[in-house]
Structure 1
Amino acid sequence: MRAASLDTPPPLRSPGTRPAWGAYGRLFTAGFREQAAYRLAMFGGLVANMTFGFLKVAMLFATVRAAGGTVQGYDVGSMSAYIWVSQGMLGSVNLHGRLDFSERIKNGDVAVDFLRPVNVQMATIATEVGKAVFALIPRGLPSVAIGALLVGMTMPTSPTAYVLGLVSLVIGITVSFSTVYLVAVAGFWLIETRGIQILYMVLSGFFAGLFVPIALFPDWLLALAEATPCPSMMMYPIDILTGRTTGGAAYGLVGVQLAWLAGTLLIGHLLTTAGRRKLEVQGG
């Protein structure tokens, strides 16, 4: 047995070729198609979305009514919009912390990934975002539509809110995977990352606004949440799509999302480079 070290990383592209940006688009499409194969799982996810959506309706509507009809600017209609849009995003935003890339690091398959003429980080995120975007079709849109029909909700009338909201939604999905990638890449040093995944799942859902809008947090907890990328994954897209945040403030939220995306991608790149130098794969 011998250990093959990857101290010197291979080039990101073959000599004499253009950067493989088109490959990331194909990986996105491949992820989209892969997720399309799991139709029964998507239906099961939709059922789960609706079940927990109605539970949130019961609890949060009671909170609004107990507060006299509004709480932190949320009335029944806007709270319903928050509930069903957040449930619709649940299948696309990674708040569970799991990524196949962590298993590839653990079993050594990542060595093969490093030999491919694409950036490992960008290839992983492009594939996962493709899967997530498909999930919006069988899980996201029906969740919102059913909630609107059975419960009702207050939504904006301006098309700008929906256009900017969709942009924010895609950025939020990407931020979720670029952040989860940081959890996965810790496997270069820890090997087993399940503990970090569980911690991430607990904290990210809370700070992202999955359970209650972060506007309901006390000031100190709201400041703590906003110091993390979590609101950029879910809460900010919801605020824009539901019309709670409009105008310059909405563009400001998108700017914050882009800043977190750039930051998590940069940290992921640095950790991948350091981890690649450290990686040793046992082989014959």
Structure 2
Amino acid sequence: MTKYLMFAKSQMQINTAYSAWYWAGTASSIMRLMIMFYFWHAVYDGKDTIQNLTLQDMLTYIVVAMFIQGYVSGVGNELAHDIRDGNIAIELMRPYDVIFKLIFMDFGGKITHFFRETLPLMVIAFVFIDLSLPGSAEAALLFLISAALGVWIGTFFDLMIGIIAFWTVNVWGLRVLKEGVITFFSGALVPITLFPGWLETLSSYLPFQAMVFTPVSIYTGILEGSDAYIAVLIQLGWCLGMFLIMKLIWSQAIKKVTIFGG
């Protein structure tokens, strides 16, 4: 365990080594928050509610969704690079589990992301946008559990995309497509409840809504009571399922190791 924690620490040091890049990420997140703020103000101009959501409800949903979306991707990119460059062969010979190493490195990256982007955005959102809080302590606790499950689902799915590089070598296009699909179907762009009926039904059968929409819906009160607990159980099922599928694909992929590059 200690060596894996060292991987997390080293990734944090790497992410904070370049101060210009570090603060550029903070600035870009603040600009994105401002764009979304003025966009939804324009959408709600002359309207009190949209699908029973007030402007304050929508802003709270969008901001919390931005927070969570920043944590559901990233780990698979490093794996894809190792495969493409041929470094994966060396990694597989070292005395640690490559997947766990990548997960802990990603964990370190997420810690720096929290201080670089999430924390400044939280301060701005609560001070200037008057971000709403969960309706109860129970909802807040359930939100944290749901958000953690959503991040794990995204992590396992991202690893699956990275593993595909064993067969395709370059997964850049696939990753771009993945980001677009996750942004849309996870409910990070707009609440899934605003989708047409058929598209909302389709989204409910995909794992993406469990990454962002479910935790944010618990936070904002869209999901309450038994519906919220059922949604978390569904998330748990997706999390276990994605993990098992990822491990199955990984076990097949390492049998087909081909060295590219140096």
TM-score normalized by the length of structure 2:
0.87
Contact kept in structure 2, 1:125 and 1:174, CA below 8 Å: no
8 Å contact from structure 1 (residues 61, 79) kept in 2: no
C-alpha distance 158-29 of structure 1, shift in aligned 2 (>3 A): farther
Partner of 1:178: 156
Secondary structure in structure 1 of the residue aligned to 2:259: strand
Length, aligned pairs only: 262
| Cα distance in 2 between the residues matched to 1:280 and 1:156 | 50
Secondary structure at the counterpart of residue 248 of structure 1? helix
Between the aligned residues of both structures, percent identity stands at 26
* 1:56 match: 36
Q: For residues 138 and 246 of structure 1, what CA distance do their matches in structure 2 show?
A: 32
**Which among 56, 62, 66 is matched to residue 83 of structure 1?**
62
CA deviations on 1:211-255 (whole Å, 9 max, x unpaired) are: 211111111111222222222222222222333323222222222
Equivalent residue for 1:153, pick from 104, 112, 131: 131
Partner secondary structure for residue 99 of structure 1: helix
Q: Deviations over 1:55-111 (max 9, x none)?
A: 222222333455x412223111111111222233343232x7961110111121111
Q: 1:275 is matched with which residue: 246, 253, 256?
A: 253
> Quick one: distance in 1 between partners of 2:15 and 2:2?
20
Q: Is this contact kept in 1: 2:76–2:160, CA < 8 A?
A: no
Residue matched to 1:254: 232
Counterparts of 1:184-263 in structure 2, within 5 Å, are 184-263=162-241
Q: More displaced, 191-200 or 130-139?
A: 130-139
More helix by share: 2
Q: 1:240 to 1:283 in 2, by over 3 A?
A: closer
Distance apart, 1:259 and its partner CA: 1.6
Checking the alignment, whether the CA contact within 8 Å between 1:43 and 1:138 is kept in structure 2 is yes
The residue aligned with 2:15 is: 35
Structure 1 residue runs of 5 or longer lacking an equivalent are 1-20
Would you say the 8 A contact 1:28–1:126 is kept in 2? yes
- TM-score, length-scaled by structure 1: 0.81
Q: Alignment partner of 1:212: what SS?
A: coil
Q: Which moved more, 1:259-268 or 1:147-156?
A: 147-156
With over 3 angstroms needed to count, the CA separation of the structure-2 counterparts of 1:220 and 1:238, relative to structure 1, is same
Structure 1: distance between partners of 2:75 and 2:200: 22
User: Using the alignment, how far apart are the partners of 2:237 and 2:2 within structure 1?
Assistant: 24
Q: CA deviation at 1:143?
A: 0.8
Unaligned runs of 5+ residues in structure 2 are none
> Aligned partner of 1:35: which letter?
N
Does the 8 Å CA contact 1:179/1:264 hold for their aligned counterparts?
yes
Evaluate the alpha carbon distance shift between residue 31 and residue 175 of structure 1 in structure 2; reply closer, same or farther with a 3 A threshold: farther
Question: Partner residue of 2:52?
Answer: 73
Aligned residue for 2:107? Answer: 129
- RMSD of aligned residue pairs (Cα, Å): 2.6
Matched letter for residue 205 of structure 2: A
Q: Which of the pair has more CA radius of gyration?
A: 1
Whether the aligned pair in 2 keeps the contact of 1:132 and 1:173 (CA below 8 Å) is: no
Residue aligned with 2:50, SS? coil
